[in-house]
Structure 1
Amino acid sequence: MSRATAGVRLLPNAITVLALCAGLSAVQFALTGDYLLSIGAIGIAAILDSLDGRIARLLDASSKMGAELDSLSDAISFGVAPALVLYVWMPGDDRFGWLVTLIFAVCMVLRLARFNTLLDEDQPPFAGEFFVGVPAPAGGLVALLPVMLTLQFGEGWWSSQVVVVVWTIATAALLISRIPTLSLKKLNAPAKAVAPLLVGVGLLAAAVIQYPLISLATALVLYLAHIPYAVRRYQWLAAHPEAWGVPGHERRAIRRSSRGRRLGLRKPRLRRVAGAARRAVQRGDTDPSAGGGHVSRVYPPADTTSRPTTRKRDWRRIGLRQRGR
């Protein structure tokens, strides 16, 4: 039993070490000029990084050593490795490019340090659905987006030094920002959506095999485009504590009810209002204050004592004649 337990605890850490090796291999590929393999190695490191934590939780093999090893691996694979790849690839002044890559690597390390400190703080229940800032794997790949575009479409405005510097600094700012981004770890798919999602995964795999750079660049652009939605979702959850910890369909019901209360609308009685307006138009009754030529008529209330007359009138309306008693 002890050997099995030791093997189970070794598996997540082994995956983390593999992610570290993939990140360092990206630097070696960049030094030899093979930037496509550099991007692929960092992408493999991101996939392995998303697996080690889940496997550790599934096998109940989480440990402090694994958490520290994961942070160090992320710092190298998604901070140091993309920075060095950008430095080797970036055109223009080497000294200025080195300064920019240092800024990116430092911001990545600060982002990981803040992530570790947030684990020990008390957070609201819905905070587990979000990351604070852009996570490390996504930030490392987003920084390499100009390299992907250059490899796919050739040199252009996206490969100029000014654009690359601004893009790298903006990505570093997203890493250390407090902008909420969605966490895929807490997303649950309903049973009806399992089959379409599997089909989508198959199509995505085919697209990555046939068009790897275009597929990865499109996925990164879509990821950046979801940030406004994540901010709005976070603000809504913070303002509605009753929606914390409830299923998705209940959250949608709360959202619909909150929209109705915010607008202050009441369901109108369309038939009664439309019928009254139609009868008023047929009688030619208008309001003199509205500029009409007719005077509004005041009709006396119906006499409730004349029930036989009302009953005869009802019989005539449907084309029948009441029998005499």
Structure 2
Amino acid sequence: MTAPAPNPAPVADTDSDDAQRPRRKGIYILPNLFTLAALFGGFYAIVMAMNGQFEQSAIGIFCAMVLDSLDGRVARMTNTQSAFGEQMDSLSDMVSFGAAPALIVYEWALKGMGKLGWIAAFVYCSGAALRLARFNTNIGVVDKRFFQGLPSPAAAALVVGLIWVVTDGSPEGRSLPWMPWLAFAFTLYAGLTMVTNVPFYSFKDVNFRKTVPFIVIVAIALGFAVITIHPPIVLFGVFVVYGFSGYAVFVWKKLKGKPVSVISTSTDEPDEAGLHR
């Protein structure tokens, strides 16, 4: 009598194992490289301010602004959007356009004002944090054509642009008796305007894939030429105009009887055309 043959070893179902095993999610490198570069710009600005090189600090913040404007567009153009990229962008913005400008302006002019100085810097820093948090939570219900409050990069340009203009013209300009109060006013204005409901045009409805008249290209070339005349004054002037434009839009809408809020409550209202796009 022969012994029964041993049962064959069970064969692993590799196909079902592979299907059940969670796949490791990767990170898109291209848009996040721009985000990391923007973060480096903010960190570089802080380091330069600690060493008293405030002009380099301002240049670092403005470079971070350019890079921050590119990461989202690159992600959309290459179809590499991700939740990780959105969170990374917000954290980078908080450093480059929230903490960095507050620390730079405090070190540059507000330190000698005592409690008023660090309170103004904190108002700006907390305003940037609140503005970014509100932006992330309201992203699905805000008219894409407008920002709800002053965007943090523009607020940083107001604060740091003043420093750039003064230090570029004369290093002794910060020692003028009224300069700390001017920096105090700009810091408070930028910080509080970030958390208002005032609409600021976002330029997000500008489509770079569409054809444009030849005169538009000429105007862009002239714009670059004007900036090169004196970058600190020109860029600061542009952002000062933009920093007050939201209130002009607010007053104009009020006078016309149009809704001034950029928050949508319905997709069927004719006054909310352009929302939910």
Sort the TM-score into its range (normalised by shorter chain): 0.7 to 0.9
Structure that is richer in helix per residue = 1
CA contact (8 A) 2:149 2:194 kept: yes
Aligned to 1:279: none
What does 1:1-325 align with in structure 2 at a 5 Å threshold? 9-90=28-109, 92-120=112-140, 122-123=141-142, 127-154=143-170, 155=173, 160-188=179-207, 194-231=213-250, 232=252, 238=259, 241=270, 244-245=273-274
CA contact (8 A) 1:149 1:158 kept: no
Q: TM-score, normalised by structure 1?
A: 0.65
Q: Which runs of 5+ in 2 are unaligned?
A: 1-24, 261-268
Q: What letter matches 1:105 in structure 2?
A: C
* Residue-by-residue CA offset, 1:118-166 (whole Å, 9 max, x unaligned): 024x45xxx1110000011101111224313322444387952222212
CA contact (8 A) 1:158 1:164 kept: no
Whole-angstrom distance in 2 between the partners of 1:118 and 1:242: 19
What SS does structure 2 have at the residue aligned with 1:90? helix
CA contact (8 A) 2:58 2:161 kept: no
Question: Structure 1 residues 243, 174: CA separation in 2 closer, same or farther (over 3 Å shift)?
Answer: closer
Report which stretch shifted further, 148-157 or 60-69: 148-157
* Residue-by-residue CA offset, 1:187-226 (whole Å, 9 max, x unaligned): 3589785422322222232333331111111211221342
Question: Structure 1 residues 100, 195: CA separation in 2 closer, same or farther (over 3 Å shift)?
Answer: same
Select the structure of larger CA radius of gyration: 1
Aligned pair count reads 237
What SS does structure 1 have at the residue aligned with 2:81? coil
What SS does structure 1 have at the residue aligned with 2:79? coil
Whole-angstrom distance in 2 between the partners of 1:117 and 1:37: 34
Whole-angstrom distance in 1 between the partners of 2:54 and 2:177: 16
Q: Which runs of 5+ in 1 are unaligned?
A: 247-325
Q: TM-score, normalised by structure 2?
A: 0.75
Whole-angstrom distance in 2 between the partners of 1:151 and 1:158: 15
* Residue-by-residue CA offset, 1:13-42 (whole Å, 9 max, x unaligned): 111011000111011111222222211111
Question: Structure 1 residues 63, 162: CA separation in 2 closer, same or farther (over 3 Å shift)?
Answer: same
Aligned to 2:17: none
Q: What letter matches 1:79 in structure 2?
A: G
Question: Structure 1 residues 207, 159: CA separation in 2 closer, same or farther (over 3 Å shift)?
Answer: farther
CA contact (8 A) 1:13 1:52 kept: yes
Whole-angstrom distance in 1 between the partners of 2:195 and 2:47: 27
Q: What letter matches 2:69 in structure 1?
A: S
CA contact (8 A) 2:150 2:243 kept: no
CA contact (8 A) 1:75 1:112 kept: yes
What SS does structure 1 have at the residue aligned with 2:200? strand
* Residue-by-residue CA offset, 1:237-275 (whole Å, 9 max, x unaligned): 6498178259xxxxxxxxxxxxxxxxxxxxxxxxxxxxx
What SS does structure 2 have at the residue aligned with 1:181? strand
Question: Structure 1 residues 147, 245: CA separation in 2 closer, same or farther (over 3 Å shift)?
Answer: closer
Q: What letter matches 2:121 in structure 1?
A: T
RMSD: 3.0
Whole-angstrom distance in 2 between the partners of 1:48 and 1:172: 22
- Quick one: percent identity of the two aligned structures? 30
Looking at both structures, which has the greater relative contact order when contacts are Cα pairs under 8 Å and sequence separation is at least 6? 2
